[in-house]
Structure 1
Amino acid sequence: MNESRTTPEGIGIRYGLLTAAGMMVYFVVAALLGLADRIEFSFLNFAIMIVGICLAIRYFKHTRHGHMPYLQGFGTGIMTAIVSSVTFGFFFILFALLRPDVMDQIHAQDFFGFDLSVTIAFLAIMLQGVMAGAIISLIAMQYFKSPDHKPVEGVE
């Protein structure tokens, strides 16, 4: 791919949509199995996000022939997290409108208090996804910043 046309934003959008698709598929399968109300299963969304962010940063580094500025790689991860969280949040709104029983099941657990609405759930999904994505991106960039993926042994 041409290096001048490859941007962190473009790769972040592409991989963010793919990551959101993975989270959507997982959520639908969990809902069909009756596990959507089990909050402890949501940790797998983080695993999907880890994979998506790492693949996005790796692809960006590959398009730059192994030479990637730190902040552009970090920006790729952040953009992937933002796009995937917002997309998955809107999907959750649509899903909750089509199947209100999901919100009733979450209300029955009472993890978030009585006032949990679809809007608050959307905001919680976005906040949780973006914050986790920032941390995942910081950690991933420690691996991807060096060309040979070995720890730095000394200060140059």
Structure 2
Amino acid sequence: MALGKITYQKVALKYGILVGAAHIVYFLLMGIFGLHDIVALSFISAIFLVIGIVLAISKFKRIKNGMIHYFQGLAIGATVGVASSTILGLFLVLYISLFDSTYLAHLQASSLFPESISLLALFVLTIIYGTVPGFIIAFVAMQWFKRADHSLTERV
């Protein structure tokens, strides 16, 4: 792929899909180990979002020979957040609708979600819970990546 055709949107979408898949695998592992009752554990998956955003920004900066605009980094974070949380939200809607409707009751019983949360509200909240932190994580990460001399990998 030519350098001119690589956009921050393509890089962010790729990493957003990977982070979304990681969220799903983590959710399924929690189910296998019987940890769905502990809703707060699901927020540990934010680590995947942090890693995905940092890797996406680093990859884009490396592809662009060390040049990244500040707002491109912020957009990468927000896009990774939107993409990954939309994938997770769709998965949760399908999972609750087809396999385990009691999971929604677990969420309603927790103090982290409203008692009357619906599937649509869960979908929207999942996207918000991924997008806003994605933007904030990118804002913090860009404090490092905005400088030309900072990168996760050494140049040879």
Q: Do Structure 1 and Structure 2 share a fold, with TM-score over 0.5? A: yes
1-structure distance, mates of 2:82, 2:110 = 28
The percent identity for this pair of structures is: 31
For residues 126-149 of structure 1, the C-alpha deviation after alignment (integer angstroms, 9 at most, x for no partner) is: 111111111001001111111222
4+ residue segments displaced more than 6 Å = none
Whole-angstrom distance in 2 between the partners of 1:2 and 1:73: 20
Rounded Cα–Cα distance in structure 2 between residues aligned with 1:92 and 1:74? 27
Matched residue, 2:134: 133
Structure 2 residue identity aligned to 1:81: G
Residue 119 of structure 1: SS of its match in structure 2?
Answer: helix
Q: Counterpart in 2 of 1:115? A: 116
Residues 145 and 112 of structure 1, relative CA distance in 2, 3 Å threshold = same
Residue 110 of structure 1 and its aligned partner are, at CA, apart by: 5.6
In structure 2, what residue type is equivalent to 1:38? Answer: I
Deviation at 1:79, TM superposition (A): 1.0
Change (3 A) 1:62 1:111: closer
In structure 2, C-alpha distance between the alignment counterparts of 1:139 and 1:111, rounded to whole Å: 25
Aligned to 1:84: 84
Q: CA deviation at 1:76?
A: 1.5
**Residue in 2 aligned with 1:154?**
none
> How far apart are residue 114 of structure 1 and its match?
2.9
Q: What does residue 102 of structure 2 align with?
A: 101
Once the two structures are overlaid, the 10-residue window that deviates more, 18-27 or 77-86, is 77-86
Q: TM-score, normalised by structure 2?
A: 0.89
* Separation (CA, whole Å) in 2 of partners of 1:76 and 1:38: 31
Alignment-mate amino acid for residue 79 of structure 2: M
In 2, the alpha carbon distance for the partners of 1:51 and 1:43 equals 14
Over the residues paired in the alignment, what is the CA RMSD in angstroms? 1.6
Counterpart residue type for residue 8 of structure 1? Y
Q: 2:154 maps to which residue?
A: none
User: Unaligned 5+ residue runs, structure 2?
Assistant: 152-156
**Contact kept in structure 2, 1:8 and 1:79, CA below 8 Å:** no
Which residue of the partner structure matches residue 62 of structure 1? 62
Deviation at 1:65, TM superposition (A): 0.8
Q: Which runs of 5+ in 1 are unaligned?
A: 151-156
Distance in 2 of aligned mates of 1:110 and 1:122: 17
Q: Which moved more, 1:55-64 or 1:96-105?
A: 96-105
Q: Distance in 1 between matches of 2:94 and 2:19?
A: 18
Residues 2 and 63 in structure 1, CA contact (< 8 A), matched pair in contact too:
no
